[in-house]
A and B are shown apart, each in its own frame.
Chain A
Amino acid sequence: MMTASDPELTAALTAVLPAAQVLTTAEDLAVFAFDGTAILHQLPACVVMPETVEQVAAVLRVASERHVPVVTRGSGTGLSGGSVPCEGCIVLCLVRLNHILEVDTANLTMTVEPGVVTQMIAERAADVGLFYPPDPGSIRISTIGGNVANNSGGLRGLKYGVTRDYVMALQVAMADGQILTTGTKCVKDVAGFSLRDLFIGSEGTLGVITRITLKLIPQPAAKATLLGLFDEMTAAAETISAIIAAKIIPCTLEFLDRTTAECVEGYAHIGLPTDVAAVTLMEVDGHPAEVEEQAARIEQIARDHGARDVRRAATAAEATQLASARRTAFSALARRAPTVILEDVTVPRSRLAEMVAAIQRIAADHDVTIGTFGHMGDGNLHPTFLTDERNATEMARVEAAMKEIFQVTIDLEGTITGEHGVGLAKKPFLPAAVGPVAMEVMRRLKKDFDPAGILNPGKIFD
């Protein structure tokens, strides 16, 4: 049996943590060698599973003293390689730091440890009649710490925003183990600069998030769920624009292309026709009178723009079923191929139809299969390559197609990452996206926050 490459490191870690919380055997380490991103994998030197903030700080002190890199990890569902280990690193896995510390119904906040699974937060809020809106597709498995570190989005982004919008305060362990709090509870306003905003989306490179205070909002009184079926992608895109022009901000505005719809139907049997060009999931929530009014408007708008059919859920169960068309998209596609590469691009809403058409053309030009789905409300699309990493010639075509998709995105005034972070996967594209000055300032800041460069080195930038 292979052991950790560094017995001295193991000894130093077991001096501050119970031995059972330090994993070093090859089979224990194997599951931490990758995250949700295809192709990337690397074994760490060891994995630690702290159960308290003090243990996190102790691990960081050991790492600092020995100059060993630390890769913080939640559930490892990231899609840009953010929690993929680097050689010789400690994986700091936070899933045991998983307590809901407080639900404060007077101030409408919840304070949690970073390893709490996002779904638990949504459920606990619902238990007391409150609502935690961010709902990444991975909500059942991802951790809130990962969500904050990646500033994850979700299906409700257009109306309710992304994770950042719900973070009131953070407790962070810095590279040297020092613990600090940004903002006080319930107060998003702080004296001084908003450090909180800097840690959100920093992908484990500036500090380890050890406690999070989240904002909760009242549960909307009513919701309506509609599914639109379109023969033309442009008709779907125009419908979305017309809905927003009508001053309606739906809480969900999601989209599946034909390839994805076909896979979803084969997987979830929702009764979707498999010859549609686009399926849209549209939900509105709020006051019952307003919801009723808006749902009727949406249905009319979709029909006016040539929808083949608009289905409206009559019951909560039906709503869940319609929504599952979108919720299952990734799983449905993932079943179809040994390697699934999920991309993440964002374009202005008015360019969505162009973007989808370009993706379809690029897929045909390079002879690759791409299913596209995404968050139409905020222009965030996930072109998903169905391929096989063992097939080198196909991988080369995938690579070329991907490059072209990024170029089109930038030409359409979009960005090459919407919600999945930079990590390793998008690192090569970052300099072109932000420019040399911003790169220089980011590197400088990283160096100041983490002088020894031990926190998730090589992620976001080198």
Chain B
Amino acid sequence: MATPAVVPATVAEVAASVRHAAAHGTSLALRAGGTKDRLGRTTTAAVSMDLSDLRGIVTYEPEELILIARPATPLAEVQALLADNNQHLAFEPPFWGAAATLGGTIGIGASGPRRFVAGAARDFVLGMEFVDGRGRVIRAGGRVVKNVTGYDLWRALVGAYGTLGVMTEVCVKLWPRPESQQTLAMDARSRQEALQLMFAWSRRPEAITGLSYTSANGTLWARVEGSVAAIRTQTESLLKDAGRGEIMDETASQQLWEQIRECGGLQMLPGEILYRIVLPPSRVDDAVAALDKLGLDRYCLDWGGGLLWAVLPATMPAAAVHNIATDNRGVAARVGSDAEDTNEAAFTPLSEPVARLNQTLRNALDPQGLFSPGRLKI
């Protein structure tokens, strides 16, 4: 781990620190709440740039459906403010820990259960201010949804794991919060039955905003959100369709999806490693069968089958899991087990030409590779 050294409190200080680092060739580990350390590889950066002081909401305009905040603003603070105004971040970001920040969420590009219908974190970022690898401030995108102003370079910072630039302000798109929710919980006879129902339901015009399945007790969950009047009829129609199951009320439903949002609600034991695999829903069955052969212990499906959280023995080489992801036209990410785990094989390798373009993009924004080197192997 890099030693803490720089703690900028303003964009000007970030720019000055980066220029200083650039002049001395000192690499910087970008960090705020520190809740996402186990995602991605461990950076080899020499010095830690602690962004915790860059916090606070800059602008909140409920009528414009936008919020602008500094990156280290706690996610919990953002959500509480939005909830007071019956709004929310529709991509339902996972926290990974109470200290989660808005900037960290965007830096990882983390999206929760509603993602398969509402869109991903990157779809909700309208613009940002950031400092590039030469210590220059770039304001990109805007506060309006429609905005064509050349290349959307800044979008690459979403999900870049702090490697392309230092976000100093982000503008996100907000959405009205559904009035209420209910969840149908049912025992699936098999994974195949669960998948079949998930496929069928994800094609239905009902406002189904959560479709998850856990191998632990074979339960399939379907969440419906909307107005109180509308959701009742919808969950009942799902219940009729499934032929069994029970309807969870608003509070129980909320609690359930908060759990699923966090790694599918799976708890790790010593000697186990968690993988997050994103793949076409139609390939899940094959992927799980292949993982079974590697000693898959338990798993959870989210996004109607598009996301698979899998628990495997730590002894299993990550490459085998990445191969299964690739074979099934997906990508996997290994979640590091603890602070000692450098998580070398966190990501599914890129094809050679794509890796080259990744490097080109990195060179354009951070030519010296100052920001979080090694975090995202490309």
Contact = CB atoms under 8 A, between A and B. Distances in A.
Given A105-B203, A289-B227, A418-B147, A198 B361 contact: yes
Contacts of A185: 280, 329
B144 A290 contact: no
B330 interface: yes
B149 A350 contact: no
A422 B151 CA distance: 10
Contacts of A147: none
B363 A161 contact: no
A448 interface: yes
Interface string B195-225: 0000100111111000000000000000000
Contact of A186 (B65, B306, B365): B306
Interface string B98-127: 000000000001000000010110110000
A415 B132 contact: no
A220 B63 contact: no
A417 B148 contact: yes
Contacts of A220: 205
Contact of B138 (A162, A191, A435): A435
A418 B120 CA distance: 22
B22 interface: no
A192 B364 contact: no
A206 B364 CA distance: 14
A399 interface: no
A108 B203 contact: yes
Q: Which one of A129, A248, A289, A417 has the highest number of Cβ atoms from chain B below 10 Å of its Cβ? A: A289
B139 interface: yes
Nearest to A178: B353
A461 interface: yes
A375 B146 contact: yes
Given A105-B203, A448-B364, A186 B143 contact: no
Interface string A332-359: 0000000000000011111000000000
Interface stretch (B44-52, B262-270, B344-352): B344-352
A197 B109 CA distance: 13
Interface in A172-196: 174, 178, 180-182, 184-195
A249 B150 CA distance: 28
Contact of A198 (B155, B175, B226): B155
A442 B151 CA distance: 7
A238 to B, nearest CB: 11
B149 A349 contact: no
Contacts of B137: 437
Interface stretch (B69-77, B183-191, B228-236): B228-236
B331 interface: yes
A200 B153 contact: no
Contacts of A445: 151, 153, 360-361, 364
Given A287-B205, A346-B146, A460-B150, A165 B348 contact: no
Interface of A: 104-109, 129-130, 150-151, 153, 157-158, 161-162, 164-165, 174, 178, 180-182, 184-195, 197-198, 200-202, 206, 217-221, 241, 244-245, 247-249, 286-287, 289-290, 293, 346-350, 375, 378-380, 413-415, 417-422, 430, 433-435, 437-439, 441-442, 444-446, 448-449, 460-461
Given A187-B306, A413-B143, 13 more contacts: A106-B199, A150-B148, A181-B351, A184-B330, A218-B204, A244-B63, A245-B62, A287-B205, A375-B146, A417-B149, A430-B150, A434-B139, A434-B140
